[in-house]
Amino acid sequence: MKLALVVSTSDAAFDALAFKGDLLKGVEMARRIGYDAVEIAVRDPKVVNVKELRGLLDELKMPVVAVGTGQAYLAEGLSITSEDPLVRRRALDRLKDHIDFASIFGAKVIVGLIRGKREKRAFESVLQLFIESLNELADHAAKKGVELVIEPLNRYETDFINTLQDAKLVLESLNRRNIGILADTFHMNIEEASIEESIRNFGAWIKHFHVADSNRWAPGSGHLNFDSILKALHEVDYAGYISVECLPLPGGQEEAATLAFKTLQNSLKKL
Ligand code: LER
Ligand code: MN
């Protein structure tokens, strides 16, 4: 298992100085600490200067393991289960742009908040829209050699797919090889009865993994047991990346990323 760091950037076009500055600083920091790769969030790949980004990452020899897409939902309200066909189409087209973008880096594409919310709608009708959308995206992703990962999120962020079991049911009815689950310890700590048991039960579906401690601070600052979490991942032969996605706490970005790295390395050594 290799370690990656989610590099946070301001939501701006790639050519905006703030985005480039944040990204460069984050990737350099990840490399300095010892991380093997980074994960980035991109609201709209069309505003990213891909050639320049690629050059920057190649120079630093840091692969991108996954691309987050939630900003498109948060900033623009794009959702692939929207009842409005125009919004749904824009969300699907945006995710196809994310897939094309990810294919350049060999990264996975995260389906998190962009799946939208159920709100007052019947579960079955939202599920049907989700499945239709995912089938279309899986076709596009297969042509590009990209994998999609559905991330169960806690109840305070969405009311649609909160647990690994929820995600597994969707994946079973889809029966596509290039879609899996992104499990995140922060959400699992709220929604799963046992993080370790759920990893053991749904291990075959887990294709990406996010870590933060119980308080969403760096691993090592809350009450999650990363020795037993990584042991469970090891037992199900998880061979992907463990991406640190935590608040810049304690002590700011560098201190948090360093503590996370040390905590995880320490647990990995015990395997
Ligand atoms: C994204 O990976 C995530 O975990 C969500 O909580 C973002 O809102
Ligand atoms: Mn996450």
pLDDT recorded at residue 104: 97
Which atom of ligand 1 is nearest to 157's Cα?
8
**pLDDT of the residue at 87:** 98
Tell me how far the alpha carbon of residue 225 lies from the centroid of ligand 1, in angstroms: 20
Burial of 178 (0-12, 13-18, 19+ CB in 10 A): middle
Average pLDDT score over residue span 216-240: 98
Ligand closest to CA 111: 1
| pLDDT category of residue 48 using cuts at 50, 70 and 90 | confident
Pocket of ligand 1 contains residue 112 by CB under 6 Å? yes
CB 172 within 8 A of CB 180: no
Average pLDDT over residues 33-55: 93
**pLDDT (average), residues 126-148:** 98
The C-alpha torsion from 4 through 207 and 216 to 96, rounded to 10°, is: 90
The answer to whether the CB of 210 is under 6 A from ligand 1 is: yes
Residue 171 reports pLDDT greater than 80: yes
* Cβ 96 under 6 angstroms from ligand 1: no
Nearest CA to ligand 1 atom 6: 153
Task: Domains for the chain: give ranges and CATH numbers.
Answer: 2-269 (3.20.20.150)
Amino acid at 20: K
* 177 φ, ψ (degrees, to nearest 5): -80, -20
Specify the higher pLDDT residue, 21 or 213. 213
Shortest-distance atom of ligand 1 to CA 112: 1
Is residue 39 within 6 Å of ligand 1 at its C-beta? Answer: no
Q: Which residues are catalytic?
A: 151, 245
Average pLDDT over residues 184-198: 98
Q: In the prediction, which pLDDT does 240 show? A: 97
Mutation probe of ligand 1 site: the residue of 8, 117, 245, 247 with most atoms within 8 A of C-beta: 245
